[in-house]
Structure 1
């Protein structure tokens, strides 16, 4: 949610910039008009795009098909955005509401959607956590361990629906928590989110198996964790294997 709000705020900020500069021949309109039109346009576009992008990133069937995910996501974002831009523009300029005008918007909106999707893919790196220089790091997530696992070494965290399964050197147990929140609280332990459903402690990795374009991490105790293709290149560059 926090990342979505940051994206929305950034889009509105860009909208204010476009309004102040009179972008795309809008300088002929008053500043008040531009300050109403552009932030609303950019904010609404970011909201629609953010919701659709979230749906696609949680579609596990596309985890190993990043190009297909990008193409489908761009189309899914461009279609409603085209209609949204057509409606807002006609409302603001008192247009004739010609449906034929939609055909002139489809191509540029899709190109922008595809460019933003590609940029998001390039910037999409695994969320990593870092060890503390202190010998006894303060890791908030450890306070959430069930009593039987207190003091154990966390090896991996696995998402199962709305719950998380915590794998340790003393066994495993489940808690109710979101993966995104868990990764934030795991700061202080060296590790990374290697898959949509997995965070792994770096010192728990004992072997890396590779084949068919995929990687699998074998942890202490024999637990095997899949590595998503979308994260594999960044993890390899960071020396995980």
Structure 2
């Protein structure tokens, strides 16, 4: 079994192979393309095709998610994903389905009709996949300085923020000039950190992406080593989203 398929199965079965198989069964039972072949062949064809399509979709969505600006607009990412995933799949369906069901290739006149059906199926599957993505609070680099900088204690003004750590009702701000405490909730701090590229890696940690020097993984968990040697945990809840965003 390929590494990618293992990740798809073990990472989130409902989002991976389970959804692909369910979609394949649905297409076979509803005879989506009007085939005259038996149910067994339709099941085999559609289930295999949907698993392959799921692997292709995961690769595409992971790549698209890393493109500048995609994390900021759900709609733009959705439209781009549907087109990038669906158009190549349309070519595959057009080139293969006729041979499987009718023993001969589809003609060019069949292609336009296949496009909207494949894109519709792709849109539904993409929407399900995006809705089930793990939610991780992320911040993005921007033109203006983040509001959070105004909360830095006087001795840390002008320092580069590496991480923010929740400690009871306080936050410890880790910078290139040392650390200090302020009274604030982490959720509020993340909102005010917009303007810096970073993400929440744990319920108690936000990390600046540029501060990450090394990543270590083991036993299903990961830790980030930041500038200055600070070790930050990555929880299971946030690991997949960070991995998909290219953090490691």
Tell me what 1:107 maps to: 116
What is the Cα deviation at residue 112 of structure 1? Answer: 2.4
85-94 or 107-116: which moved more? 107-116
Equivalent of 1:119, from 124, 128, 134? Answer: 128
Aligned equivalent of 2:37, options 29, 33, 57: 29
State TM-score, norm by structure 2: 0.51
Partner Cα separation in structure 2 for residue 162 and residue 88 of structure 1: 45
Unpaired runs of at least 5, structure 2:
138-203, 216-222
- Contact between 1:155 and 1:167, CA under 8 Å: does it hold in 2? no
Contact 1:12-1:39 within 8 A present in 2 as well: yes
Structure 1 residue 60 displacement after superposition = 4.2
What TM-score do the two structures reach when normalised by structure 1? Answer: 0.52
RMSD (Å), alpha carbons: 3.8
**The residue matched to 2:235 in structure 1 has which SS?**
helix
Query: How many pairs does the alignment contain?
Result: 160
Corresponding residue number in structure 2 for 1:56: 64
Matched residue SS, 1:126: coil
Q: What residue number does 1:39 align with?
A: 47
- What are the Cα deviations for residues 40-93 of structure 1, in whole angstroms up to 9, with x where unaligned? 222222122121111112324322222211111111011111011112202202
2:158 match: none
Correspondence list, 1:167-178, <5 A:
172-173=229-230
* Superposition misfits of 4+ residues, deviation over 6 angstroms: none
- Whole-Å separation in 2 of the counterparts to 1:158 and 1:50: 26
